[in-house]
């Protein structure tokens, strides 16, 4: 793009409310755009092929501890950034592979598949509570009552977090995640994130100690067995940091998948009716929701050597903003990209990133969406939503989502026994 793009525009209220017209203008001019010389980043990368390449190219790296130290960032004084820099999110390539290997040994496809009955049970229980809260047509906040609770309970089930502790997590996760948004953060937000980081660290320190003393059939116990089998492969800080990030990521992104997906379906009665009639379509619906309204819209990478993207130079040490949300609407990759089409062929979106930092919990998030959305639509076939604005780009979803549950079906324990009718 010949004319530089303003980072201020990307961070402005209009784009935060609806980034897609801005993304469409970027696509008209190519796959990447220069930012102004006064902006902290060199480029915005938005085309599907360019984004896919940057996420996979070893020249482009995450902003790890070495990079922040060279840039003079005083990150070590904040516990929230110490956790982020000790996690897989920002680990250097060798450390990332080492840590991911150990965590992958514990989060097997078999363990995720074994969680499916628990996902269904948790969903049904929360749907009962949602129905009670929204009785008589009263509006109820879908995010607070369901979308945030379900993945919190599921990731809690996976990690072995006791059920009674799970309501403690959401406000701390929100405070922690506030620092991830692109742009400057206020000191009030940073202080709140540091407090949340300290509290989450203390909680998982206790959970790890409990599982070391009394192992169970859960992810943390399986992870600790792997750590003990390979002494020295994982530091105590890395263990705690990655448990915190795993909980946070599995909680917020899936909540946004459910909230964004529900709004898409309530706005499209035909699509909602199709999924209600054939729940086997849920997997393709989840993929299109992830492409069309991804829970995460961007990443940042820096160039370890002089390079280029789409013909635009990136000097060594400069950073680029990688707009995965824009790549998912690239007309060069997805015909008619602004149309919601669950039957879309070859729907290989970048909602879960790509390359070595491909989302560790993608399989679990897909399972939650596939199992939960049909249940939700079947239970509340006439549900209506009143979505408010969304302002975040990093973790894009609704803070509140009032819904009315008109036309609710009875819960499973209220359905008359069919055997009595046969007899």
Q: Which domain holds residue 328?
A: 7-422
Residue 101 pLDDT > 90, yes or no?
no
User: What are the beta bridge partners of residue 308?
Assistant: 313
Q: How far apart are CA 85 and CA 87, in angstroms?
A: 6
Number of domains in the chain: 1
Quick one: average pLDDT of 51-72? Answer: 92
Residues 110-161: tens digit of each pLDDT: 889 999 999 999 999 999 999 999 998 889 999 999 999 999 999 999 999 9
Q: How many CB atoms lie within 10 A of CB 335?
A: 10
Q: Is 341 helix (H, G, I), strand (E, B) or coil?
A: coil
Q: β-strand 43-45 against 319-322: which pairing, if any?
A: parallel
pLDDT tens readout for residues 26-41 = 999 999 999 998 899 9
Q: Which band of pLDDT confidence, cut at 50, 70 and 90, is reported for residue 73?
A: confident
- With respect to residue 200, please indicate whether it lies within any of the assigned structural domains: yes
Q: What is the pLDDT of residue 347?
A: 97
**CATH value at residue 63:** 1.10.630.10
How deeply is 348 buried, as exposed, middle or buried, from its count of CB atoms within 10 A (0-12, 13-18, 19+)? exposed
- DSSP class per residue in 149-217: HHHHHHHHHHHT--GGGGGGHHHHHHHHHGGGSSS---HHHHHHHHHHHHHHHHHHHHHHHHHHHS--S
Residue 113: Cβ-neighbour burial (10 angstroms; 0-12, 13-18, 19+): exposed
| Distance, C-alpha 179 to centroid of its chain | 15
Per-residue model confidence as pLDDT tens digits over 207-254: 999 999 999 989 999 999 988 888 888 899 999 999 999 998 888 899
Tell whether the model's pLDDT for residue 413 goes beyond 50. Answer: no
Query: H-type helices in 267-361, by residue range?
Result: 269-277, 282-292, 324-327
Tell the burial category of 75 from Cβ atoms under 10 Å away from its Cβ (0-12, 13-18, 19+): middle
What is the pLDDT, as a whole number, of residue 77?
A: 87
What's the pLDDT band for 414 if we cut at 50, 70, 90?
A: very low
User: Could you tell me if residue 362 is inside a domain?
Assistant: yes
Q: Report the distance separating Cα 160 and Cα 168, nearest Å.
A: 15
Q: Quote the CA–CA distance of 32 and 323 in Å, as a whole number.
A: 10
d(CA 209, CA 215): 10
1 is a domain residue: no
pLDDT value at residue 10: 87
Query: Rounded to whole angstroms, how far apart are CA atoms 119 and 99?
Result: 27
In a domain, 150, yes or no: yes
In a domain, 2, yes or no: no
User: What pLDDT does residue 409 have?
Assistant: 53
Mean pLDDT, the chain, whole residue set = 91
Please say whether the beta carbons of 328 and 343 come within 8 A: no
Going by C-alpha positions, the residue among 101, 393, 390 that lies closest to residue 264 is 390
In a domain, 48, yes or no: yes
Q: Is residue 281 part of a domain?
A: yes
Bin 309: left if φ > 0, else alpha if -120 < ψ < 50, else beta: beta
**How far from 365 is each of 254, 281, 295, 348, CA to CA, in Å?**
6, 16, 11, 16
What are the distances in angstroms from CA 321 to CA 7, 77, 153? 10, 25, 33
pLDDT in tens, 167-200: 899 899 989 988 888 777 888 999 999 999 999 9
Is this prediction's pTM over 0.95? Answer: no
């Amino acid at each position: 793009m010949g004319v530089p793009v303003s980072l201020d525009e990307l961070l402005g209220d209009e784009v935060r409310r609806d980034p897609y017209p801005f993304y469409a203008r970027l696509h008209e001019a190519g796959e990447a755009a220069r930012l102004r010389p006064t902006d902290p980043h060199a480029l915005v990368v938005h085309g599907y092929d360019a984004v896919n390449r940057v996420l996979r190219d070893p020249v482009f790296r995450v902003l790890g501890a070495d990079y922040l130290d060279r840039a003079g960032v005083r990150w070590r004084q904040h516990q929230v950034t110490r956790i982020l820099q000790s996690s897989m999110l920002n680990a250097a390539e060798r450390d990332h592979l080492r840590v991911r290997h150990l965590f992958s040994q514990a989060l097997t496809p078999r363990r995720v598949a074994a969680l499916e009955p628990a996902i269904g049970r948790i969903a049904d229980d929360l749907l009962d509570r949602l129905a009670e809260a929204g009785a008589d047509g009263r509006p109820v906040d879908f995010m607070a009552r369901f979308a945030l609770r379900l993945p919190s309970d599921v990731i809690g089930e996976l990690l072995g977090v006791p059920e009674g502790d799970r309501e403690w997590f959401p406000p701390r996760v929100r405070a922690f995640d506030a620092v991830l948004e692109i742009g400057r953060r206020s000191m009030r937000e940073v202080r709140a994130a540091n407090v949340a980081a300290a509290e989450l660290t203390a909680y998982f320190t206790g959970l790890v100690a409990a599982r070391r003393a009394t192992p169970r059939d859960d992810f943390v116990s399986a992870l600790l067995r792997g750590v003990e089998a390979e002494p020295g492969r994982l530091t105590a800080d890395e263990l705690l940091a990655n448990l915190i990030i795993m909980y946070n990521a599995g909680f917020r992104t899936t909540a946004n998948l459910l909230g964004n997906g529900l709004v898409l379906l309530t706005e499209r009665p035909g699509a909602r009716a199709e999924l209600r009639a054939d729940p086997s379509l849920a997997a393709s619906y989840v993929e299109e929701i992830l492409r069309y309204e991804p829970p995460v819209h961007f990443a940042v990478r820096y160039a370890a050597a002089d390079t280029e993207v789409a013909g635009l130079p990136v000097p060594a040490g400069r950073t680029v903003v990688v707009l995965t949300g824009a790549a998912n609407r690239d007309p060069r990759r997805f015909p008619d990209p602004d149309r919601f089409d669950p039957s879309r062929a070859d729907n290989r979106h970048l909602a879960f990133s790509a390359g070595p930092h491909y989302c560790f919990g993608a399989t679990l998030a897909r399972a939650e969406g596939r199992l939960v959305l049909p249940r939700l639509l079947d239970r509340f076939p006439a549900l209506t939503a009143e979505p408010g604005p969304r302002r975040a780009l990093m973790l894009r979803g609704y803070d509140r989502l009032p819904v009315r549950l008109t036309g609710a079906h009875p819960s499973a324990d209220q359905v008359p026994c069919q055997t009595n009718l046969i007899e």
